[in-house]
Amino acid sequence: MARLRNDYEKFSQRNVTILTVGPNTEAAFQKYWREEKMPFIGIPDPEHRVALLYRQQVNIFKLGRMPLLCIVDKNGRIRYAHYGASMSDIPENETLLNVIDQLTASSN
């Protein structure tokens, strides 16, 4: 999430809303957001409802939920999804920004 925070301005310039969902409680999310000065929205999902909806993988041998990153268009359609195989398997911001730029170009 820190990586997204560090490039938040690049996403904002593209009119992108960043929304993160995690298994933590509301109190844990609020504390982390405050301490890390996160400029985007974080949604607690301790009951895994959102995770199940998006078919996020859980691997107890790899510390729980595997990373899932989706780009959803204004109509609610998933236009890009990356299901991570490990906790470090997260696309670079430049990859995401390129996908967003391609989606924007194709919709014009």
Residue 60 sits in which domain range?
2-103
Residue 35 inside a domain? The answer is yes
pLDDT tens digits along 59-90: 665 567 777 888 988 888 889 988 888 778 88
Mean pLDDT of the chain, nearest integer: 86
CA distance 19 to 97: 15
User: How many domains, the chain?
Assistant: 1
Which is it for strands 58-59 and 41-44: parallel, antiparallel or unpaired?
unpaired
pTM for the full predicted model: 0.82
Q: Does residue 6 form part of some domain?
A: yes
Q: Which two tokens stand for residue 54?
A: 């998006």
Q: Which amino acid makes up residue 79?
A: R
CA distances from 8 to 16, 61, 66, 88 (A): 9, 32, 23, 20
Q: Which amino acid is at 97?
A: L
Residue count (the chain): 108
The answer to whether position 19 is within a domain reads yes
